[in-house]
Amino acid sequence: MYIYIYVEREREREREREGEERERERGERDRERERERERAREKSRELEREIESARALAIERERARSLSRATPSRRRSVYRLASSIASDSRRISGERERER
């Protein structure tokens, strides 16, 4: 009878050890999966930043190309418009200063 009890206890301990080992392995796999997901999210954010940067650069290039293709009179009108905006801005800020 004692041998039977001893054998049963040993089997139970072995099952517990195996269960603990499976839990530990499962935890390690879960942590590794989470690390992989985080790496993928970071890579995705990095790619989004690169795409946004490339878009901004493409827009700036197109603006520069558009201005360089403009005829001299078109360029002059663009510069006149920019100058007019700048002088209006200076005039408005000057009026605000005088009001103070």
pLDDT digits (tens, 9 = 90+) for 72-82: 777 677 777 77
Residues 47 and 88 occupy one common structural domain: no
2-47 residue pLDDT tens = 777 888 899 999 999 999 999 999 999 999 999 999 999 999 999 9
pTM: 0.46
Domain that includes residue 87, residue range: 71-100
Look up residue 16 and give its amino acid.
E
Residues 78 and 62 occupy one common structural domain: no
Number of domains the chain is built from: 2
Q: Give dist(CA 70, CA 59) in Å, integer.
A: 16
Which DSSP state fits 100?
-
Residues 65 and 77 occupy one common structural domain: no
% of the chain surpassing 70 pLDDT: 90
Residues 53 and 7 occupy one common structural domain: yes
Residues 39 and 75 occupy one common structural domain: no
Residues 27 and 76 occupy one common structural domain: no
Q: What is the pLDDT of residue 70?
A: 63
